[in-house]
Amino acid sequence: MISDAQAMDKQKSLTLLKYYDNVEKVISKLDGTFLNLLKTSEGDVLSNIKKKMERIDNREYVVLVEGALNST
């Protein structure tokens, strides 16, 4: 069950990475005037996208198991 949830999360992360990659390509092709307007209103969008992509790529999974020990 845990491995299923991990696999599903990994698939969602890969899909999100594809979207980020496409957005990054489109933004990179914009002309300088529009990029400056975008930076003024939204900040450094390309840098933010790259940081988010790195976080997704470097994500680690932690498994927490809870239970009671019976010492009888």
Q: Which residues have a Cβ under 8 Å from the Cβ of 35 and sit 6 or more positions away?
A: 27
Render pLDDT for 32-61 as a digit per residue (tens, 0 to 9). 998 889 889 999 988 999 999 998 888 776
CA distance 34 to 66: 52
CA distance 19 to 30: 17
Token digits for 49? 């996208």
Render pLDDT for 2-39 as a digit per residue (tens, 0 to 9). 678 778 888 898 899 999 999 999 998 989 998 889 88
